[in-house]
Structure 1
Amino acid sequence: MGNFKDLMTIIKKWRQSVWELKRFTRMNVTDPFRAVVADYGFMNCEDARERMQLRGVYREYFGRGADEMRLHEACIAGNLGSFLESVLGRSLAVSPNLLRNSYPLENCPYTGMVTDSVIECPESALDQVKAFKSGDEGKESVVIPIPDAWDEATTKLLYERAAFTVTG
């Protein structure tokens, strides 16, 4: 893993979802981590055959020793299809529609990131949440304030995505 040092600097709180994708391609499990489903196109698969084909594309990518962080950057830029075609040097064995995701997102610094525990709260309640969290006996929750100025649709999208990618 050429980028392992970068991963280890943030592993206590954050890691890029590409590491969960790489782990999924090496494990004998049927379903990927929820963030991988959202970030790397598995949500677009209609059946197990498409999931296996998509997994095969990523296995080939990692099998070539290709750079994990370049794939992560393509993911959060919303360019998975064109990036993978350029690296693998051919048209892909999956439909380009499978490689769609909701990126890029503006003003979202945690795009494509995974953490074990997140607390989302309105910006106006941040001090109260931090006070509550300080009594949480050292749990490594990450607090993400949602700007009070965000419109309802943006806030709803964030809550829905968080509910979809929750791990526990």
Structure 2
Amino acid sequence: MPNVKMTEIEAQYQRINIFKGKQHRLIYYRPMLKKAYQVTKDDVKQIQIYHYRIFIVLFVSLMAMVITDEDLLLTVGSGVLALGLVEAWFYFFKIRSFPLQLNFTPSKRIGFIQTHLDESYKIVNIRIFSYIAITVAAIAGAFVGDYQPLYFFGMMAIAVFGLYQVGILIYVQSLRKKGK
């Protein structure tokens, strides 16, 4: 693991491919296209919205499922439409407004575990207990609620994700206690 200390803001930025350039400007790097764009702090919020597009699609799909009484075609269609709108908004309106940054090579990425090691141990503990609460709520909701199989498997997926995150964060805390 690299011994690079960074602030929590820089760690959050790096998760969405935003780096600091040579003149301490924020640079958004598109690894698939190998292009870099100069952005401002206000643009970072909009880039975060783009990077959370899957959650937007899931939210729209779940709302469509509730409103249309589980009509599969409308549920999937609304999710695809939401994804298309977010992609079009980002590619045609936002990314074209950013100035292109030439000759930019991103710094070596700091790993997920290293970013958690750089965070305060209290923050990591809060995250552990939050994910435990989410896992317990998902399991309780899955077994207590009279759900269709789709809802049941969705709740179980949330519980598995919560347990996975708890495992990673406990591993981070054990590394911290070992002095790494």
Common topology (TM > 0.5): no
Q: Which structure has more RCO (C-alpha within 8 Å, separation ≥ 6)?
A: 1
Using the size of structure 2 for normalisation, the TM-score is: 0.29
Greater fraction helix: 2
Using the size of structure 1 for normalisation, the TM-score is: 0.31
User: For the pair shown, which has the larger CA radius of gyration, 1 or 2?
Assistant: 2
